[in-house]
Amino acid sequence: MAGSLQVERRSIDPVPEAERHGHPRSLFTLWFASNMQITSAVTGALTVLVGLHPLWALVAVALGNAIGAVPMALHAAQGPKLGIPQMIQSRAQFGVYGAVLPLVLVVLMYLGYFASGNVLGGQALAEIIQLPVDASIVLYAGLSALIAIVGYRLIHRFGWLASLVSVVVFVYLTFRLVTTHDLGAVLAGAEPDVPAFLLALSLTASWQLTFGPYVADTSRYLPSSTSVRATFWWTYAGTALGATWAMSFGALAYAVSGPQFKGHEVAYVVGLGGDGLVLPLLLAIALGKFTVNVLNIYGGYMTAATTLTAFTRRAVLSPGARIGYIALVGVLGGALAVLGRGDFLANFVLFLHFLLYFLTPWSAINLVDFYWLRKEEYDLAAMYDPDGRYGRWCAPALVAYFAGIVVQIPFSHVDRVFTGFLVPHLGGADIAWLLGLLVPGFLYWGAMRRRIGTGAADADTRLESDKPGERTW
């Protein structure tokens, strides 16, 4: 445990082989805990809210997570190979300066999800310690920042603890839900509704796709000898199982309770456990939300640093700068949470869902480059040098990226914000994310395969800091 409390030294710089450690099974508990929480349950409830029969909602939950977790886990497998944060690796596709565009969008995503997490976690904390809600939100944000400052080891240890608590709590809550309601009647008479099913499928798959920009951040300390297969499957199993369980619970909870669950999720969950377990369940809700909240601020600071250091050419952050970046994200996210506990925060979360249309093309380009074009081989030093191998801008990547955004517009549906003209013809279904994955990935592959060369490898991926007597970073 003492090692877990040692403050992390690395930030956006590559992790030398001598500092690599751990086993990919730690990724299972981390991502299981990140998904077994109240927001996942709310997302599951949305699959019934859109008009889908509860039985088909359960199918959509399972299938959506099974599909969406594939690109998510493929990103995780990049971490051990390169030993760098997820978004630094984007410079190899977009150029050192060109990568700033998706980076800025990812920073906004982190801030929004961190703020929304602070609201929900802060409300649960307020009930536990009897502080005003705003004060509890600030305290919750501060505790999240503290864990992020300590860093990688503690985050993984905390994920293990949160997974254990989540299993106990959700087993009990699922038992209560099943034994106190007639689920047979709720699940009977299922009629297929293809448009509603596609919309529910999009909601659940999108949940997994939003993890793409930071999943490799949590695997980059694993030894480079860690197999891609092991990293993929441990991550995939944790995120898909955790999300499917929590979302299925939310879908069933909404199906049997309706208005009692919608808008009163925390109160409903606590009430389901009985009067004698109010405090333990509130604590479990606060703890469950805490894991993903820490990941949001942890990834947020590295993404912000990656954005700014593209122009300063810095590859290493001092301990003070690292803490400063974490504090900045923490203060902004905490302020957004306090100021936006009402309608503003709800609208901001809608905006974050809109951002998904911009992040899906990035994911496709990144994965095609890593697995099919460069075949896992990169020049790490060039990712920190605008005049290096990857240059400042990569026009084919940017063209493919914008094409991936444009092709989604007719199929996009964001409630109260925008509805594409083809969405009504699909019965309200949103299939934009499928096009956002397929089109930019194909365009980028077609434009870059000759430039990179089939099977061509970049420079040696060994860290210069691994070579005796040398240290570049």
What mean pLDDT is predicted for residues 415-438? 82
Residue 430's φ and ψ, nearest 5 degrees, are -110, 110
How far out from the chain centre does Cα 236 lie? Answer: 13
* Mean pLDDT over each residue of the chain, to the nearest integer: 84
The pLDDT tens digits for 158-207 are: 778 888 888 888 888 888 888 888 888 888 888 888 888 888 888 888 88
Amino acid at 198: L
Q: How many residues can be counted in the chain?
A: 473
Burial class (CB in 10 A: 0-12, 13-18, 19+), 283: middle
The pLDDT tens digits for 9-30 are: 777 888 899 898 888 999 998 8
CATH number of 24-464: 1.10.4160.10
Query: Residue 419 pairs with which residues in a beta bridge?
Result: 413
| Domain layout of the chain by residue ranges | 24-464
Please give the pLDDT value at position 57: 94
Phi-psi region of 109 (alpha: psi -120 to 50; beta: other; left: phi over 0): alpha
The pLDDT tens digits for 61-77 are: 999 999 999 999 999 99
The pLDDT tens digits for 238-280 are: 999 999 999 999 899 888 887 676 666 677 777 777 766 777 7
